[in-house]
Amino acid sequence: METDLQAENARLRDQLQNLLDQARHNEEKMHRLQGQELRLLEMESLFELLHDLLLEYPQQFNLDNVTLFLLDPEYEIQRLVEESNSEPPAGLVLLHDASSLYQYYGKEPAIEMGEFIPEVHTDWLQQLDATPSCIAMLPLERRGHLMGTLNLASVEANRFTREHGSDFIERLASIVAISLENILNQERLKRIGLTDALTGLNNRRFFDQRLKEEIMRSLRHDQPLAALFIDADYFKAINDRHGHTVGDLALMELAKRLRRYVRLQDVLARFGGEEFAILLINDGLESAVQVAERIREEVEQMAISLPGGDKLNMTVSIGVAELHSVARELRDLDEVGLALLNRADEAVYAAKDEGRNRVIYMDDAGQLIPAEQAPFSIRPL
């Protein structure tokens, strides 16, 4: 009898110890999750959020695969990722339409946890080193809109079930969705102050910020940098003859054409009025003149359709300058930037004085030279 009581006491002590261990484990897990939630809510950049979810989170919570699929129909997130100048972490997938999301989740998205089914779940994971045993699919929703899905996979068979930690998972989905919405709203507010409302291009403020950054980068790595000033010819006459509505239409069409000649790393901005500016990253003077001449030719050939069937033709004058010809004489970054812009500005005014619809560049010696007199050949469109 005494032996049975001792055995029962031992069993109860073991059960109590297991419960205490589980309670401590849950408390530690809760603390980690609370810390994770605070970090997510305090993040101010998309890159921080992606890095934390796709790199830090798998290590911290011992997950074998984490992916984040985000709906990005207007390529807004893609632009933010590109502008961060950093490689996006593995596991990020941008969807430009919602069809695959709704095909999986249906009209009423809900968290799914359970067995990993290869034919169902493989497309939602990436770079699998080992086949998962279970998966958690977390739809990210805010204000009734599906933003994407966060997907967690583990080789542990019982890691994700409705009986094990579903509250934690549901809370995580909500926090990630809130953090993502907050960050995107912050970025939109920033862009409102840095974007020209009419053309959708960057504005003067954005250009000035990037100019200093690109000068620093160019000088640090001894790489070329060229500036183009583009001025629409006789633009006042367009407004006077056709009205400001047509003038706005002309500027929007010109902006559309200019976009064709800038790469992702270049900087295009509406500088003010009918003036535009481009920074060509890693392009020297010869390459910049080639780009400027192609822009001039395309604008000269374009015909803008007006209400009533009329066509509007326009031309531009373009000035070109290159960084290193001015940086040799100056050390202060603000002075270098101002000197570069002054050279391009001086060149565009020379183009105006020479009859407009032409490209003039300033060489290393400070001489203003029309593109047709350049010592290198200009390749036509």
Catalytic residues, by residue number, are: 274
Please give the C-alpha separations between residue 225 and each of 1, 35, 115, 278, in angstroms, as whole numbers.
Answer: 92, 44, 54, 10
**Residue type present at position 330:** L
**Residue type present at position 201:** L
CA–CA separation, 184 and 80 (whole Å): 9
Cβ atoms of residues 269 and 277 within 8 Å? yes
Angle of helix 204-221 versus helix 333-353 axis, rounded to 10: 110
**How many of the other CB atoms lie within 10 Å of CB of 59?**
9
Cβ atoms of residues 139 and 71 within 8 Å? no
Contacts of 125 (CB under 8 A, 6+ apart): 65, 67, 132, 135, 151, 153
Cβ atoms of residues 173 and 57 within 8 Å? no
Which secondary-structure segment (H or E) carries 295?
helix 285-301
Cα dihedral sign for 119, 123, 125, 131? positive
CB-hemisphere CA count at 13 Å for 379?
Answer: 6
Q: Where are the beta strands (DSSP E) in 247-352?
A: 267-272, 275-281, 303-305, 311-313, 316-322
| Paired tokens of 330 | 């100056």
Q: Look at phi and psi of residue 322 and say left if phi exceeds 0, alpha if psi is from -120 to 50, else beta.
A: beta
CA–CA separation, 35 and 165 (whole Å): 17
Q: 168: closest CA among 146, 147, 152?
A: 152
